[in-house]
Structure 1
């Protein structure tokens, strides 16, 4: 299994970075994982800003040469892992900019003229590891699970990815929180997954 880990946090001293390390360590000890590639969007200086004009058209985004290396990474991966904080009930703008550009028509899906498109990223699975300051149940009760709905239904199902696992950890900024237990949980998961 080839695994692409997309890390989105500007600080390598963050809890998100600690979760990234657990993903890498657990996957490295898992015989089912052939190779792990990490894309740190901030370190890669990924430009999340969409630009469309007379020279750069949205309909051509699927073949933009500046994004070719990122398309190759997504095609290579059997499992895509996203590690990010939840800010204001949703992923960081950097990650949303990556999604806007990478999951483009002609690459991630193809319009068929009906209600739903044909997803072109089938036979892949996704894991989202996210942290937030608020309570763990806040997104469910106050935001109608907006984060999971956005990621699972509006994005992944749309492009043909049906297998999606969430680790959504709340109250992660409390000094007496359960960070160590959550980090261990993620490590164990990635050490034992086989698909």
Structure 2
């Protein structure tokens, strides 16, 4: 299993970065994971800004040469792992800009004229690991599960990815946030995951 980890946080001293390290550590100890690649969007200086004009049309985004290496990473991966904080009830703008550009028509999905498109990323699986300042159940009870609906239904299901696992960790700025327990949970998950 080839695993692409997309890390989205500007600080390598952050708790998100600690979760990234646990994904890598567990993955390297897992015999079913043949290779792990990490894409650090901030370190990469990925440009999240969409530009459409007479030279750059939205319908051509699937073939944008500046995004070719990122498309190849997604094609290569069997599993895509996203590690990011929840800010204002949603992933960071940097990650949303990556999603806007990478999950483009004729690359991630194909319009067929019906209600739903044909997902072109079938067979892949996704894990989302997110941290937030508020309580773990805040998104569920106060935001109608907006984060999971956005990621699972509006994005991944749309492009054909049916297997999606979420780890949402709340109270992460609290000294009582049980950081070690949560970090070890991620380490153990990636050490034993088999698909």
Q: TM tier, shorter chain?
A: over 0.9
Distance 1:139 1:176 in 2: 20
Q: RMSD over aligned Cα, in angstroms?
A: 0.3
1:59 match: 59
Tell me how far apart the structure 2 counterparts of residues 178 and 90 of structure 1 sit (CA, whole Å): 23
Task: Assess if the C-alpha contact under 8 Å between 2:170 and 2:177 holds in 1.
Answer: no
Equivalences for residues 86-125 of structure 1 within 5 A: 86-125=86-125
Q: Secondary structure at the match of 1:114?
A: coil
Q: Which residue is 1:174 aligned to?
A: 174
SS at match of 2:43: coil
Q: TM-score, normalised by structure 1?
A: 1.00
1:149 is paired with a residue of what secondary structure?
helix
Q: 5+ residue gaps in structure 2? A: none
- Tell me, in whole angstroms, the C-alpha distance in 2 between the residues paired with 1:67 and 1:83: 21
The whole-number CA distance in structure 2 between the counterparts of 1:59 and 1:174 is: 45
Secondary structure in 2 matching 1:161 = coil
Q: Distance in 1 between matches of 2:101 and 2:194?
A: 29
CA distance in 2, matches of 1:50, 1:90: 19
What is the alpha-carbon distance in structure 1 between the residues aligned to residue 161 and residue 83 of structure 2?
Answer: 18
Aligned residue pair count? 195
CA distance in 2 between counterparts of 1:173 and 1:116 reads 40
Displacement of 1:175 after TM fit?
Answer: 1.2
Which residue is equivalent to 2:31? 31
Match of 1:140 in 2: 140
Q: C-alpha deviations, 1:99-152, integer Å up to 9, x for none?
A: 000000000000000000000000000000000000000000000000000000
| CA–CA separation in structure 1 for the residues paired with 2:105 and 2:91 | 21
2:84 maps to which residue? 84
**Number of the residue aligned with 1:130:** 130
Q: Which runs of structure 1 show a deviation greater than 6 angstroms over 4 or more consecutive aligned residues? A: none
Q: CA separation in 2, counterparts of 1:129 and 1:190?
A: 12
Structure 1 gap ranges (5+): none
Residue number in structure 1 paired with 2:2:
2
* 1:7-57 deviation line (CA, Å, top 9, x unaligned): 000000000000000000000000000000000000000000000000000
Shift of 1:176: 2.1
